[in-house]
């Protein structure tokens, strides 16, 4: 209740363009609230805000969910990364989901890449984004700005 007003207020207060915002919801939560979430997501997208399905592969992993949920980005969960060097299923699953998502106009992010070996196997799978501790740990906003946004860094 009031989520759309909240997003509008935050966007206005921060002068952040809607195209620079992305709302994430876990796959499991998307299934539970399908009709309500669908309406809110369509409204957010009409404002230029992107939608991401987080933790894909850990909950229901329904292809129907991929088909019917208005999301722009699918974030494949770490559960498919941690054994990617030894388990051919994980690499095949990632490649298949990337191809399917691309065929229907969705982008893909692989979550939880923590080692160089995981990155080397994953990097050629065709997804738009790869994230994880291999690239850096979470930082307080001030530390991030100092490290990555200053003219000194």
Give the whole-angstrom CA distance, residue 94 versus residue 122: 8
Give the whole-angstrom CA distance, residue 55 versus residue 31: 12
CB 111 within 8 A of CB 132: yes
**Is 116 a catalytic site residue?**
no
Give the whole-angstrom CA distance, residue 118 versus residue 150: 30
3-state SS, residue 74: strand
Give the whole-angstrom CA distance, residue 97 versus residue 48: 25
Options 1, 13, 43, 111, the catalytic residue:
111
Q: What number of helices (H) and strands (E) belong to the chain?
A: 7, 5
**Catalytic (active-site) positions:** 111
């Amino acid at each position: 209740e009031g989520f759309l007003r909240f997003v509008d207020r935050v966007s206005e207060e921060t002068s952040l363009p809607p195209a620079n915002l992305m709302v994430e919801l876990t796959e499991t939560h998307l299934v539970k609230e399908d009709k309500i979430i669908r309406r809110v997501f369509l409204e957010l997208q009409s404002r230029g805000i992107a939608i991401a399905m987080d933790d894909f592969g850990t909950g229901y992993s329904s292809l129907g969910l991929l088909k019917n949920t208005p999301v722009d980005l699918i974030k494949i969960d770490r559960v498919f990364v941690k054994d990617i060097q030894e388990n051919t299923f994980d690499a095949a699953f990632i490649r298949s989901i990337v191809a399917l998502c691309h065929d229907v106009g969705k982008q893909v992010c692989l979550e939880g890449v923590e080692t160089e070996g995981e990155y080397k196997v994953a990097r050629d799978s065709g997804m738009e984004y790869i994230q994880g501790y291999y690239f850096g740990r979470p930082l307080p906003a001030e530390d991030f700005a100092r490290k990555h946004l200053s003219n000194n860094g």
